Amino acid sequence: MVIADYLLAGLVAMLTGLDRVALVQVMISRPLVAAPLTGLVLGNPLLGLEVGMLLELLWLGRLPVGAAIPPDDTQVAVGATVLAFSMGQMLDLVGMPMVILAVLVAIPLGKFGQIFDRLARNVNDRLAVAGLKALSDGNTNGLERRHLMGLISFAVSSLATACVIVLIGSVVLFYTAPQLIGAVRDTGLSLQYSLIIVGAASLLGTINVNRSISLFCAAFSGTLLVLWMR
């Protein structure tokens, strides 16, 4: 990857991060969209789609609504796509096994998103107080500036999360990917489907229906049947 690729990925990280809670909210922040967008600017949208498909179900039931601040699934998707692309080129490891490794490394690093998101919200609390004072003084320009600063704080928070995921993930993958890639290849589709099954189970746990266990068992059995038929 060249510097321009990282800059474009950083731009995607900020735009999709703003879509989570701060601006527009047209759902480009979902991993199934954010990851392919990142892959598109890097020249490999299919890679991003593979990342997004593995991540989407894991966070579908955990939304940043109200005071809830879940791990940043958007930047996990962006960061995992960058990791799979950049480290795959550096280590000459391509394909789904590298994608799975990048996803597994990026997922726990999404906790940093909670930290940066909380800092951004604290900054915005102070900006809201300052904006209210500016409004009471009749200073509408000051109110507009603070409103824009609130958007910038969320954008910087998203960019910081993506940078941490890529930096730490790159170091981890550089030392572990060559040793683990063989084991991931050996597991084949089993590990890939396990992430989907875990995501489905996580989603069903948030559904308030009496037959959620039955639905999970049916989905699990169906997946096993598909694997057996292959």
- Please name the residue that has the structure tokens 């000459």: 92
- Please name the residue that has the structure tokens 């050996």: 186
- Write out the DSSP string of the chain: --HHHHHHHHHHHHHHHHHHHTS---STTSHHHHHHHHHHHHT-HHHHHHHHHHHHHHHTT----TT-----HHHHHHHHHHHHHHHHHHHT--SHHHHHHHHHHHHHHTHHHHHHHHHHHHHHHHHHHHHHHHHHTT-HHHHHHHHHHHHHHHHHHHHHHHHHHHHHHHHHHHHHHHHHHHHHHHHTHHHHHHHHHHHHHHHHTT---TTHHHHHHHHHHHHHHHHHH-
pTM for the model: 0.79
Note whether 90 and 174 are within 8 A (CB).
Answer: yes
Residue 49 CA from chain centroid, whole number: 12
Q: CA geometry: angle at 204 spanning 47 and 50, to 5°?
A: 5
pLDDT 10s per residue in the chain (230 long)?
678 888 999 999 999 999 888 787 888 889 989 999 999 999 999 999 989 888 887 777 666 666 667 788 899 999 999 999 999 888 888 888 888 889 989 999 988 988 998 898 888 888 888 888 887 877 778 878 888 888 889 999 999 999 999 999 999 999 988 888 887 777 766 666 666 666 665 655 555 555 555 666 666 676 666 666 65
- What is d(CA 145, CA 203) in angstroms, rounded to the nearest whole number? 40
> Which is nearest to 170 in space by CA: 91, 64, 94?
91
CB atoms within 10 A of CB 56: 20
Taking the domains of the chain in order of start, what are their residue ranges?
A: 3-184, 188-230
